[in-house]
Chains A and B, each alone.
Chain A
Amino acid sequence: MLNVLLANLPLLLKGAVVTLYLSAASAALAAVIGVAVALLQLYGDPVTRAATHVYLYVMRGVPLLVLLFAMYYMLPYTGIDVGATAGGIIVIALYFGAFMAEVFRAAILSVPRGQWDAARALGMYGRLLMLIVVVPQALRIAGPPFVNTCIMLVKGTSLVSIVGLWEVTMAGRQIVERTLAPFQVFGGVAAVYFVICYCLSRYGRWLEKRVSYVH
Protein backbone atom coordinates (compact mmCIF):
# COMPACT_ATOMS: atom_id res chain seq x y z
CA MET A 1 0.00 0.00 0.00
CA LEU A 2 2.88 2.33 0.74
CA ASN A 3 4.58 1.20 -2.45
CA VAL A 4 3.01 4.09 -4.32
CA LEU A 5 4.58 6.52 -1.91
CA LEU A 6 7.98 4.82 -1.99
CA ALA A 7 8.04 4.69 -5.77
CA ASN A 8 7.36 8.43 -5.97
CA LEU A 9 9.50 9.46 -3.06
CA PRO A 10 12.30 11.03 -5.14
CA LEU A 11 9.83 13.33 -6.88
CA LEU A 12 8.19 14.25 -3.58
CA LEU A 13 11.53 15.04 -1.99
CA LYS A 14 12.48 17.16 -4.99
CA GLY A 15 9.27 19.08 -4.35
CA ALA A 16 10.15 19.39 -0.69
CA VAL A 17 13.45 21.01 -1.61
CA VAL A 18 11.63 23.57 -3.77
CA THR A 19 9.20 24.25 -0.90
CA LEU A 20 12.13 24.78 1.45
CA TYR A 21 13.73 27.15 -1.02
CA LEU A 22 10.50 29.10 -1.55
CA SER A 23 9.98 29.31 2.23
CA ALA A 24 13.51 30.40 3.08
CA ALA A 25 13.64 33.03 0.34
CA SER A 26 10.24 34.53 1.10
CA ALA A 27 10.78 34.38 4.89
CA ALA A 28 14.06 36.29 4.54
CA LEU A 29 12.42 38.89 2.29
CA ALA A 30 9.39 39.09 4.60
CA ALA A 31 11.67 39.72 7.59
CA VAL A 32 13.39 42.59 5.79
CA ILE A 33 10.02 44.06 4.79
CA GLY A 34 8.75 43.54 8.34
CA VAL A 35 11.63 45.39 9.99
CA ALA A 36 11.48 48.23 7.46
CA VAL A 37 7.72 48.67 7.74
CA ALA A 38 7.84 48.47 11.55
CA LEU A 39 10.48 51.21 11.70
CA LEU A 40 8.58 53.38 9.19
CA GLN A 41 5.39 52.90 11.20
CA LEU A 42 7.08 53.99 14.40
CA TYR A 43 9.49 56.66 13.25
CA GLY A 44 8.51 57.62 9.72
CA ASP A 45 7.02 60.93 8.66
CA PRO A 46 3.22 61.12 8.35
CA VAL A 47 3.21 60.27 4.63
CA THR A 48 5.27 57.05 4.86
CA ARG A 49 3.30 56.16 7.97
CA ALA A 50 0.03 56.47 6.06
CA ALA A 51 1.48 54.48 3.16
CA THR A 52 2.58 51.62 5.42
CA HIS A 53 -0.84 51.68 7.04
CA VAL A 54 -2.52 51.12 3.68
CA TYR A 55 -0.07 48.29 2.96
CA LEU A 56 -0.76 46.62 6.32
CA TYR A 57 -4.52 46.79 5.98
CA VAL A 58 -4.54 45.53 2.40
CA MET A 59 -2.29 42.57 3.24
CA ARG A 60 -4.24 41.69 6.33
CA GLY A 61 -7.60 42.14 4.66
CA VAL A 62 -7.05 40.17 1.44
CA PRO A 63 -6.48 36.38 1.34
CA LEU A 64 -3.10 35.16 0.15
CA LEU A 65 -4.72 33.14 -2.62
CA VAL A 66 -6.45 36.24 -4.02
CA LEU A 67 -3.13 38.12 -3.93
CA LEU A 68 -1.52 35.26 -5.87
CA PHE A 69 -4.30 35.32 -8.46
CA ALA A 70 -3.87 39.07 -8.77
CA MET A 71 -0.17 38.61 -9.32
CA TYR A 72 -0.45 35.88 -11.94
CA TYR A 73 -3.51 36.94 -13.90
CA MET A 74 -3.49 40.73 -13.59
CA LEU A 75 0.14 41.74 -13.45
CA PRO A 76 1.02 40.49 -16.97
CA TYR A 77 -1.48 43.04 -18.38
CA THR A 78 0.55 45.85 -16.83
CA GLY A 79 3.63 44.67 -18.70
CA ILE A 80 5.53 43.69 -15.58
CA ASP A 81 6.85 40.15 -15.70
CA VAL A 82 9.10 38.88 -12.96
CA GLY A 83 8.69 35.17 -13.64
CA ALA A 84 6.63 32.61 -11.77
CA THR A 85 9.04 31.68 -8.97
CA ALA A 86 10.16 35.23 -8.18
CA GLY A 87 6.53 36.36 -8.38
CA GLY A 88 5.47 33.71 -5.88
CA ILE A 89 8.27 34.61 -3.49
CA ILE A 90 7.44 38.31 -3.69
CA VAL A 91 3.71 37.85 -3.05
CA ILE A 92 4.30 35.51 -0.10
CA ALA A 93 6.91 37.88 1.32
CA LEU A 94 4.62 40.91 0.91
CA TYR A 95 1.76 39.06 2.57
CA PHE A 96 3.68 37.70 5.56
CA GLY A 97 5.85 40.83 5.74
CA ALA A 98 2.74 42.63 7.01
CA PHE A 99 2.39 40.17 9.87
CA MET A 100 6.08 40.37 10.62
CA ALA A 101 5.89 44.16 10.69
CA GLU A 102 3.35 43.84 13.49
CA VAL A 103 5.59 41.36 15.30
CA PHE A 104 8.59 43.72 15.13
CA ARG A 105 6.56 46.82 15.92
CA ALA A 106 5.13 45.21 19.03
CA ALA A 107 8.59 43.99 20.03
CA ILE A 108 10.14 47.46 19.76
CA LEU A 109 7.25 48.97 21.72
CA SER A 110 7.61 46.41 24.47
CA VAL A 111 11.19 47.38 25.25
CA PRO A 112 10.59 49.15 28.58
CA ARG A 113 10.56 52.95 28.69
CA GLY A 114 13.28 52.85 31.35
CA GLN A 115 15.71 51.33 28.86
CA TRP A 116 15.30 54.32 26.55
CA ASP A 117 15.69 56.68 29.50
CA ALA A 118 18.88 54.97 30.66
CA ALA A 119 20.38 54.97 27.17
CA ARG A 120 19.48 58.64 26.60
CA ALA A 121 20.84 59.63 30.00
CA LEU A 122 24.17 58.12 28.95
CA GLY A 123 24.25 60.31 25.85
CA MET A 124 23.02 57.77 23.28
CA TYR A 125 20.58 58.82 20.59
CA GLY A 126 19.29 57.84 17.16
CA ARG A 127 20.88 54.87 15.46
CA LEU A 128 23.36 54.12 18.27
CA LEU A 129 20.58 53.90 20.84
CA MET A 130 18.51 51.61 18.59
CA LEU A 131 21.47 49.39 17.73
CA ILE A 132 22.94 48.96 21.20
CA VAL A 133 19.92 49.01 23.47
CA VAL A 134 16.59 48.63 21.66
CA VAL A 135 17.18 46.18 18.79
CA PRO A 136 18.96 43.48 20.82
CA GLN A 137 16.11 43.45 23.32
CA ALA A 138 13.39 43.72 20.67
CA LEU A 139 14.84 40.75 18.76
CA ARG A 140 14.61 38.59 21.88
CA ILE A 141 10.98 39.56 22.31
CA ALA A 142 10.25 39.08 18.61
CA GLY A 143 11.89 35.63 18.38
CA PRO A 144 8.98 33.31 19.26
CA PRO A 145 6.23 35.18 17.34
CA PHE A 146 8.65 35.51 14.40
CA VAL A 147 9.15 31.74 14.28
CA ASN A 148 5.39 31.34 14.54
CA THR A 149 4.86 33.58 11.51
CA CYS A 150 7.51 31.56 9.64
CA ILE A 151 5.51 28.39 10.30
CA MET A 152 2.40 30.01 8.82
CA LEU A 153 4.51 31.10 5.88
CA VAL A 154 5.82 27.59 5.16
CA LYS A 155 2.28 26.29 5.01
CA GLY A 156 1.24 29.31 2.97
CA THR A 157 3.65 28.37 0.20
CA SER A 158 1.41 25.41 -0.69
CA LEU A 159 -1.02 27.89 -2.28
CA VAL A 160 1.38 28.74 -5.10
CA SER A 161 0.66 25.29 -6.57
CA ILE A 162 -2.77 26.62 -7.54
CA VAL A 163 -1.23 29.25 -9.79
CA GLY A 164 1.06 26.66 -11.37
CA LEU A 165 4.29 26.83 -9.40
CA TRP A 166 5.90 23.46 -8.98
CA GLU A 167 6.68 22.57 -5.37
CA VAL A 168 5.75 19.72 -3.03
CA THR A 169 1.96 20.19 -3.12
CA MET A 170 2.03 20.42 -6.91
CA ALA A 171 4.26 17.34 -7.06
CA GLY A 172 1.70 15.51 -4.94
CA ARG A 173 -1.16 16.52 -7.24
CA GLN A 174 0.75 15.27 -10.27
CA ILE A 175 1.56 11.96 -8.62
CA VAL A 176 -2.07 11.51 -7.60
CA GLU A 177 -3.25 12.12 -11.16
CA ARG A 178 -0.93 9.38 -12.33
CA THR A 179 -1.41 6.84 -9.51
CA LEU A 180 -4.94 7.57 -8.26
CA ALA A 181 -3.70 7.07 -4.68
CA PRO A 182 -4.54 10.38 -3.01
CA PHE A 183 -4.55 9.04 0.52
CA GLN A 184 -0.93 7.82 0.51
CA VAL A 185 0.47 10.65 -1.61
CA PHE A 186 -1.12 13.53 0.23
CA GLY A 187 -0.17 11.79 3.46
CA GLY A 188 3.41 12.06 2.25
CA VAL A 189 2.94 15.72 1.29
CA ALA A 190 1.47 16.46 4.71
CA ALA A 191 4.43 14.71 6.33
CA VAL A 192 6.84 16.99 4.47
CA TYR A 193 5.12 20.13 5.80
CA PHE A 194 4.82 18.62 9.24
CA VAL A 195 8.53 17.83 9.47
CA ILE A 196 9.56 21.32 8.34
CA CYS A 197 7.17 23.03 10.76
CA TYR A 198 7.99 20.70 13.61
CA CYS A 199 11.69 21.49 13.24
CA LEU A 200 10.86 25.19 13.20
CA SER A 201 8.78 24.88 16.38
CA ARG A 202 11.56 23.04 18.19
CA TYR A 203 14.03 25.64 17.00
CA GLY A 204 11.71 28.37 18.30
CA ARG A 205 11.56 26.72 21.72
CA TRP A 206 15.32 26.33 21.82
CA LEU A 207 15.77 29.98 20.80
CA GLU A 208 13.35 31.11 23.48
CA LYS A 209 15.38 29.36 26.16
CA ARG A 210 18.73 30.46 24.82
CA VAL A 211 18.01 34.17 24.70
CA SER A 212 16.24 34.48 28.04
CA TYR A 213 18.08 36.86 30.34
CA VAL A 214 19.01 34.56 33.17
CA HIS A 215 22.31 33.00 32.22
Chain B
Amino acid sequence: MAGVGDDGTRARAVLLIVPILVVLTLGFYAPLGFFLALSFLRYDPAHLYLHQWTFANYHVVLAESTYRLGLFNTLRLALAVAACTVVLGYGIAVVLWRSTPGWRNVLITALIAPLFVSVIIRTYGWLIIFDNRGPLNEMLRWFSLGPLHIRSTLTAVVVALTEVELPFATLPIFAALSQVDRALVEAAATLGEPPLRAFARVVVPLSLPGVVTGGILAFSLAASSFVEPLVLAPPNLFLLATLAYDDINQVLNWPLGAATGFFLFAVALLLTAVSVGALRLTRGGRMV
Protein backbone atom coordinates (compact mmCIF):
# COMPACT_ATOMS: atom_id res chain seq x y z
CA MET B 1 0.00 0.00 0.00
CA ALA B 2 3.01 2.26 -0.04
CA GLY B 3 3.08 5.06 -2.53
CA VAL B 4 5.45 3.11 -4.70
CA GLY B 5 4.20 4.80 -7.80
CA ASP B 6 1.31 6.93 -8.99
CA ASP B 7 0.33 4.36 -11.57
CA GLY B 8 0.40 1.47 -9.14
CA THR B 9 -1.59 3.56 -6.69
CA ARG B 10 -4.29 4.24 -9.24
CA ALA B 11 -4.59 0.60 -10.26
CA ARG B 12 -4.85 -0.41 -6.61
CA ALA B 13 -7.54 2.24 -5.97
CA VAL B 14 -9.64 0.90 -8.82
CA LEU B 15 -9.23 -2.64 -7.54
CA LEU B 16 -10.23 -1.64 -4.01
CA ILE B 17 -13.38 0.12 -5.18
CA VAL B 18 -14.75 -2.87 -7.11
CA PRO B 19 -16.32 -4.81 -4.18
CA ILE B 20 -18.47 -1.95 -2.96
CA LEU B 21 -19.55 -1.12 -6.48
CA VAL B 22 -20.67 -4.71 -6.94
CA VAL B 23 -22.68 -4.62 -3.71
CA LEU B 24 -24.24 -1.25 -4.49
CA THR B 25 -25.12 -2.35 -7.99
CA LEU B 26 -26.78 -5.53 -6.73
CA GLY B 27 -28.53 -3.93 -3.78
CA PHE B 28 -29.16 -0.35 -4.86
CA TYR B 29 -28.56 0.77 -8.44
CA ALA B 30 -30.08 -2.23 -10.18
CA PRO B 31 -33.16 -2.34 -7.92
CA LEU B 32 -33.76 1.38 -8.33
CA GLY B 33 -33.23 1.16 -12.09
CA PHE B 34 -35.72 -1.66 -12.48
CA PHE B 35 -38.13 0.08 -10.15
CA LEU B 36 -37.92 3.24 -12.24
CA ALA B 37 -38.64 1.19 -15.33
CA LEU B 38 -41.55 -0.44 -13.51
CA SER B 39 -43.11 2.96 -12.89
CA PHE B 40 -43.47 3.30 -16.67
CA LEU B 41 -45.06 -0.14 -17.19
CA ARG B 42 -48.79 -0.87 -17.44
CA TYR B 43 -50.48 -2.31 -14.34
CA ASP B 44 -52.21 -5.63 -14.64
CA PRO B 45 -54.07 -7.20 -11.70
CA ALA B 46 -53.24 -10.74 -12.78
CA HIS B 47 -49.58 -10.39 -13.73
CA LEU B 48 -48.60 -7.34 -11.61
CA TYR B 49 -47.45 -5.56 -14.78
CA LEU B 50 -47.37 -5.92 -18.54
CA HIS B 51 -44.46 -5.15 -20.82
CA GLN B 52 -46.08 -2.04 -22.24
CA TRP B 53 -44.54 1.36 -21.74
CA THR B 54 -46.96 3.96 -20.46
CA PHE B 55 -47.26 7.23 -18.55
CA ALA B 56 -50.55 6.05 -17.09
CA ASN B 57 -49.17 5.59 -13.57
CA TYR B 58 -47.78 9.12 -13.43
CA HIS B 59 -51.05 10.32 -14.90
CA VAL B 60 -52.88 8.75 -11.99
CA VAL B 61 -50.46 10.31 -9.51
CA LEU B 62 -50.89 13.74 -11.05
CA ALA B 63 -54.57 13.67 -11.86
CA GLU B 64 -56.46 11.47 -9.43
CA SER B 65 -58.00 13.32 -6.51
CA THR B 66 -56.62 10.93 -3.87
CA TYR B 67 -53.06 11.54 -5.02
CA ARG B 68 -53.61 15.27 -5.47
CA LEU B 69 -54.84 15.38 -1.93
CA GLY B 70 -51.83 13.26 -1.00
CA LEU B 71 -49.46 15.77 -2.59
CA PHE B 72 -51.23 18.66 -0.89
CA ASN B 73 -51.11 16.96 2.52
CA THR B 74 -47.48 15.90 2.04
CA LEU B 75 -46.46 19.46 1.24
CA ARG B 76 -48.49 20.78 4.16
CA LEU B 77 -46.93 18.27 6.53
CA ALA B 78 -43.36 18.68 5.29
CA LEU B 79 -43.54 22.48 5.26
CA ALA B 80 -44.98 22.52 8.77
CA VAL B 81 -42.24 20.21 10.02
CA ALA B 82 -39.53 22.20 8.21
CA ALA B 83 -40.86 25.46 9.68
CA CYS B 84 -41.08 24.05 13.22
CA THR B 85 -37.64 22.43 13.13
CA VAL B 86 -35.97 25.50 11.64
CA VAL B 87 -37.52 27.90 14.19
CA LEU B 88 -36.76 25.63 17.16
CA GLY B 89 -33.44 24.60 15.66
CA TYR B 90 -32.34 28.20 15.15
CA GLY B 91 -33.04 28.92 18.78
CA ILE B 92 -31.07 25.87 19.89
CA ALA B 93 -28.24 26.67 17.48
CA VAL B 94 -27.96 30.20 18.88
CA VAL B 95 -27.91 28.85 22.44
CA LEU B 96 -25.20 26.37 21.41
CA TRP B 97 -23.26 29.11 19.65
CA ARG B 98 -23.28 31.32 22.76
CA SER B 99 -22.54 28.54 25.27
CA THR B 100 -19.27 27.61 26.85
CA PRO B 101 -17.69 24.50 25.32
CA GLY B 102 -18.70 22.39 28.32
CA TRP B 103 -22.37 23.29 28.15
CA ARG B 104 -22.27 22.96 24.38
CA ASN B 105 -21.12 19.34 24.70
CA VAL B 106 -23.87 18.54 27.18
CA LEU B 107 -26.55 20.13 24.99
CA ILE B 108 -25.37 18.52 21.77
CA THR B 109 -25.25 15.14 23.47
CA ALA B 110 -28.81 15.60 24.72
CA LEU B 111 -29.88 16.71 21.26
CA ILE B 112 -28.46 13.72 19.44
CA ALA B 113 -28.89 10.97 22.05
CA PRO B 114 -32.44 10.16 20.88
CA LEU B 115 -31.04 9.46 17.40
CA PHE B 116 -29.72 6.20 18.75
CA VAL B 117 -33.22 5.11 19.68
CA SER B 118 -35.27 3.55 16.91
CA VAL B 119 -37.81 5.85 15.29
CA ILE B 120 -40.54 3.33 16.00
CA ILE B 121 -39.92 3.54 19.76
CA ARG B 122 -40.07 7.31 19.73
CA THR B 123 -43.22 7.26 17.63
CA TYR B 124 -44.72 4.86 20.16
CA GLY B 125 -43.80 7.35 22.86
CA TRP B 126 -45.76 10.09 21.10
CA LEU B 127 -48.67 7.72 20.66
CA ILE B 128 -48.79 7.30 24.43
CA ILE B 129 -48.46 11.02 25.05
CA PHE B 130 -51.27 11.92 22.65
CA ASP B 131 -53.64 9.22 23.83
CA ASN B 132 -57.05 10.48 24.91
CA ARG B 133 -56.20 9.29 28.41
CA GLY B 134 -52.51 9.95 28.02
CA PRO B 135 -50.32 12.26 30.13
CA LEU B 136 -50.91 15.31 27.93
CA ASN B 137 -54.68 15.13 28.19
CA GLU B 138 -54.48 14.30 31.91
CA MET B 139 -52.55 17.50 32.35
CA LEU B 140 -54.93 19.53 30.19
CA ARG B 141 -57.85 18.12 32.14
CA TRP B 142 -56.19 19.10 35.38
CA PHE B 143 -56.00 22.68 34.09
CA SER B 144 -59.55 22.29 32.77
CA LEU B 145 -58.35 22.88 29.23
CA GLY B 146 -58.98 19.48 27.77
CA PRO B 147 -59.33 16.85 26.74
CA LEU B 148 -58.20 17.46 23.19
CA HIS B 149 -58.31 14.88 20.48
CA ILE B 150 -54.73 14.86 19.18
CA ARG B 151 -54.10 11.21 18.54
CA SER B 152 -54.72 10.43 14.87
CA THR B 153 -54.42 13.99 13.63
CA LEU B 154 -52.02 15.76 11.32
CA THR B 155 -50.83 17.74 14.33
CA ALA B 156 -49.66 14.57 16.04
CA VAL B 157 -47.60 13.64 13.00
CA VAL B 158 -46.11 17.15 12.78
CA VAL B 159 -45.10 17.11 16.44
CA ALA B 160 -43.56 13.64 16.26
CA LEU B 161 -41.68 14.41 13.04
CA THR B 162 -40.48 17.73 14.46
CA GLU B 163 -39.00 15.86 17.39
CA VAL B 164 -37.39 13.27 15.12
CA GLU B 165 -35.97 15.72 12.54
CA LEU B 166 -34.95 18.47 14.97
CA PRO B 167 -31.23 17.51 15.12
CA PHE B 168 -31.07 17.32 11.33
CA ALA B 169 -32.16 20.94 11.06
CA THR B 170 -30.25 22.21 14.09
CA LEU B 171 -26.78 20.94 13.32
CA PRO B 172 -26.42 22.59 9.86
CA ILE B 173 -27.60 25.89 11.34
CA PHE B 174 -25.14 25.54 14.20
CA ALA B 175 -22.40 24.67 11.70
CA ALA B 176 -23.19 27.83 9.72
CA LEU B 177 -23.25 29.93 12.90
CA SER B 178 -19.91 28.52 14.04
CA GLN B 179 -18.38 29.79 10.84
CA VAL B 180 -19.45 33.35 11.64
CA ASP B 181 -16.47 35.27 12.92
CA ARG B 182 -17.35 36.85 16.26
CA ALA B 183 -15.23 39.80 15.26
CA LEU B 184 -17.97 40.65 12.77
CA VAL B 185 -20.41 41.26 15.61
CA GLU B 186 -17.80 43.37 17.38
CA ALA B 187 -17.16 45.24 14.14
CA ALA B 188 -20.87 45.99 13.85
CA ALA B 189 -20.82 47.23 17.47
CA THR B 190 -17.94 49.60 16.77
CA LEU B 191 -19.96 50.86 13.81
CA GLY B 192 -22.76 51.80 16.21
CA GLU B 193 -25.19 48.87 15.89
CA PRO B 194 -27.00 47.74 19.05
CA PRO B 195 -26.56 43.99 19.71
CA LEU B 196 -29.92 42.75 18.42
CA ARG B 197 -29.70 44.79 15.23
CA ALA B 198 -26.10 43.67 14.72
CA PHE B 199 -27.28 40.09 15.08
CA ALA B 200 -30.09 40.61 12.58
CA ARG B 201 -27.95 42.42 10.03
CA VAL B 202 -24.74 40.42 10.29
CA VAL B 203 -25.24 37.00 11.86
CA VAL B 204 -28.63 36.07 10.46
CA PRO B 205 -27.74 36.63 6.79
CA LEU B 206 -24.52 34.69 7.20
CA SER B 207 -26.33 31.76 8.76
CA LEU B 208 -28.90 31.51 5.95
CA PRO B 209 -27.10 28.74 4.07
CA GLY B 210 -27.34 26.59 7.19
CA VAL B 211 -31.02 27.42 7.58
CA VAL B 212 -31.68 26.41 3.97
CA THR B 213 -29.68 23.18 4.32
CA GLY B 214 -31.42 22.28 7.57
CA GLY B 215 -34.84 23.23 6.24
CA ILE B 216 -34.40 21.17 3.07
CA LEU B 217 -33.19 18.21 5.09
CA ALA B 218 -36.15 18.36 7.46
CA PHE B 219 -38.56 18.87 4.57
CA SER B 220 -37.24 15.93 2.54
CA LEU B 221 -37.14 13.58 5.52
CA ALA B 222 -40.65 14.57 6.60
CA ALA B 223 -42.06 14.29 3.06
CA SER B 224 -40.80 10.75 2.63
CA SER B 225 -41.56 9.56 6.16
CA PHE B 226 -44.21 6.90 6.45
CA VAL B 227 -43.64 5.12 9.75
CA GLU B 228 -44.78 8.07 11.87
CA PRO B 229 -47.86 8.72 9.67
CA LEU B 230 -48.80 5.06 9.65
CA VAL B 231 -48.86 5.07 13.45
CA LEU B 232 -50.09 8.58 14.22
CA ALA B 233 -52.11 9.86 11.25
CA PRO B 234 -55.85 9.24 10.78
CA PRO B 235 -56.56 6.59 8.14
CA ASN B 236 -58.25 9.11 5.85
CA LEU B 237 -55.26 11.47 5.76
CA PHE B 238 -53.70 10.72 2.38
CA LEU B 239 -49.96 11.28 2.07
CA LEU B 240 -47.82 10.37 -0.92
CA ALA B 241 -45.55 8.13 1.15
CA THR B 242 -48.36 6.19 2.80
CA LEU B 243 -50.21 5.96 -0.53
CA ALA B 244 -47.13 4.39 -2.09
CA TYR B 245 -46.83 2.02 0.87
CA ASP B 246 -50.48 1.00 0.50
CA ASP B 247 -50.19 0.61 -3.28
CA ILE B 248 -47.55 -1.97 -2.68
CA ASN B 249 -48.77 -3.68 0.46
CA GLN B 250 -52.56 -3.50 0.17
CA VAL B 251 -53.57 -2.77 -3.42
CA LEU B 252 -50.61 -4.60 -4.93
CA ASN B 253 -50.48 -2.08 -7.75
CA TRP B 254 -46.70 -2.04 -8.02
CA PRO B 255 -46.30 0.25 -11.02
CA LEU B 256 -48.46 2.89 -9.33
CA GLY B 257 -46.49 2.55 -6.08
CA ALA B 258 -43.27 3.00 -8.02
CA ALA B 259 -44.57 6.08 -9.80
CA THR B 260 -45.76 7.54 -6.48
CA GLY B 261 -42.37 6.90 -4.89
CA PHE B 262 -40.41 8.54 -7.69
CA PHE B 263 -42.87 11.43 -7.85
CA LEU B 264 -42.31 12.00 -4.13
CA PHE B 265 -38.55 11.98 -4.66
CA ALA B 266 -38.89 14.40 -7.58
CA VAL B 267 -40.92 16.81 -5.43
CA ALA B 268 -38.21 16.83 -2.77
CA LEU B 269 -35.49 17.32 -5.41
CA LEU B 270 -37.41 20.15 -7.03
CA LEU B 271 -37.87 21.93 -3.73
CA THR B 272 -34.16 21.52 -2.97
CA ALA B 273 -33.23 22.97 -6.35
CA VAL B 274 -35.60 25.91 -5.90
CA SER B 275 -34.35 26.75 -2.39
CA VAL B 276 -30.70 26.49 -3.34
CA GLY B 277 -31.37 28.58 -6.44
CA ALA B 278 -33.19 31.22 -4.41
CA LEU B 279 -30.36 31.34 -1.90
CA ARG B 280 -27.84 31.81 -4.72
CA LEU B 281 -29.90 34.58 -6.25
CA THR B 282 -30.22 36.55 -3.02
CA ARG B 283 -26.49 36.43 -2.35
CA GLY B 284 -25.13 36.57 -5.84
CA GLY B 285 -23.85 33.01 -5.64
CA ARG B 286 -21.14 33.90 -3.16
CA MET B 287 -22.07 31.87 -0.15
CA VAL B 288 -23.20 28.55 -1.53
| Binding partners A and B | no
Residues of B within 8 A of A (CB): none
